[in-house]
Amino acid sequence: MRGVPRLCHLTDLHLLEDDFRSRRRVERLQVGYLSLRRTVDPEDRRARAAAALRDAAAANPDHVLISGDLTELGSLPQYDLLRQLLDASGLCPEQVTLLAGNHDAYGLGWRAVLDGPLDRWAAHARPGAVVPLPAGVKLVHVDTSTPQPFWLSSGTAPRDQLVATADTAASAGAAVIMAMHHPPHRVLHHWVHGLRNLTEVEALLAAQPRVVALFGHMHVERDLTLAPDGPARAYAAAGVVDHDRPVRVYEFDATGLWPLTPAAAPAARRGSGAARAGEAPSEPTPR
């Protein structure tokens, strides 16, 4: 029997319904823009998501985080498809935390989704939710999705949720996992794609050494340090939509969280093997 708790991390499913081509022309054009550099194949996306969920369940995790961009346009048919895939995965709703990403905010409001097709997953998916995990660890949901035009993909971490995360860390006797969609580092064309209040998130991580962040959005695995030669304090998983083995597995205890395998991400600027807060990594910008 495994003694160390385990968490599986998936991100960026970008699900499309089979008949999306029957949508209005303007919506098809939106999908084309948002799917730049990705194959617009609903069946392939569904198969990749189903396989990733199966792999996560097979890892026998204590918890599963899916950190946003669940859908391509945030439409009801796409959320219905996600519900079907979650139902078939063998994972209990209480075992899963869902986050919204910028793509999910282009359509239905997250509140309506949690009152509708994803109602059985709502308890952990509500922004600001604090999810108790084994070993006294807590996972805090920080919702960085922001309603905006589809040509923007930036996000904002709400100040009240950052304050609540800091308060949770200050009072906790164990590690705190801050789950969010957007990365806590600068990205290329940051004002279009990045976290608008990045400095506030960086300040929280610097002030609260118990906090470790998990994020998505960039579609590549990444281990993020706050200082040269410092330990990793934030981790990203690869995008389900465009990677064959996207599930990232971590073990954790009261002292922290660590991936079973380090990220094989491109080197950050200035030659570091891991990205550092405040830097713009060299990977492609997200959509």
Q: pLDDT, tens digit, for every residue of 179-210? A: 999 999 999 889 889 999 999 999 999 999 99
In a domain, 255, yes or no: yes
Lowest-pLDDT choice from 27-41, 48-62, 195-209, 222-236: 27-41
Q: What is the pLDDT of residue 270?
A: 29
Residue 32 has pLDDT above 70, yes or no: no
In a domain, 281, yes or no: no
Split at pLDDT 50, 70, 90, the class of 22 is: low
Residue 19 has pLDDT above 70, yes or no: yes
Mean pLDDT of the chain: 89
Domain of 74: which CATH number? 3.60.21.10
What is the Cβ-side half-sphere exposure of residue 62, based on CA atoms within 13 angstroms?
20
In a domain, 287, yes or no: no
pTM of the model: 0.90
Q: pLDDT digits over 44-70, tens only?
A: 999 999 999 999 999 999 999 999 999
Pairing mode of beta strands 275-276, 222-225: parallel
Q: What is the pLDDT of residue 285?
A: 58
Q: pLDDT digits over 150-175, tens only?
A: 888 999 999 999 999 999 999 988 99
**DSSP SS3 for 22:** helix
Which residue range forms the structural domain that includes residue 201? 6-276
Alpha-carbon distance values, 175 to 22, 95, 171 (Å): 47, 19, 11
Split at pLDDT 50, 70, 90, the class of 28 is: low
Q: How far apart are CA 81 and CA 71, in angstroms?
A: 9
Alpha-carbon distance values, 259 to 172, 214, 242 (Å): 22, 11, 21
Question: pLDDT higher for 34 or 274?
Answer: 34
- Token digits of residue 24: 């209005």
Q: How far apart are CA 188 and CA 287, in angstroms?
A: 12
**DSSP SS3 for 185:** coil
Neighbours of 262 (CB within 10 A): 13
In a domain, 120, yes or no: yes
Are the C-beta atoms of residues 216 and 239 closer than 8 Å to each other?
yes
In a domain, 283, yes or no: no
Q: Which residues contact 99 (CB under 8 A, 6 or more apart)?
A: 65, 66, 67, 68, 125, 141, 143, 145, 179, 180, 181, 216
Split at pLDDT 50, 70, 90, the class of 286 is: low
Q: Which amino acid is at 113?
A: V
Number of domains in the chain: 1
**DSSP SS3 for 246:** coil
Residue 267 has pLDDT above 50, yes or no: no
In a domain, 1, yes or no: no
Q: How far apart are CA 146 and CA 182, in angstroms?
A: 11
Are the C-beta atoms of residues 181 and 217 closer than 8 Å to each other?
yes
The residues pairing with 256 across neighbouring beta strands, listed in sequence order, are: 253
Residue 234 has pLDDT above 80, yes or no: yes
Helix axes 76-89, 42-58, angle to 10 degrees: 30
Residue 266 has pLDDT above 60, yes or no: no
Split at pLDDT 50, 70, 90, the class of 229 is: confident
- Token digits of residue 141: 């949901």
Residue 218 has pLDDT above 80, yes or no: yes
Q: How far apart are CA 45 and CA 240, in angstroms?
A: 8
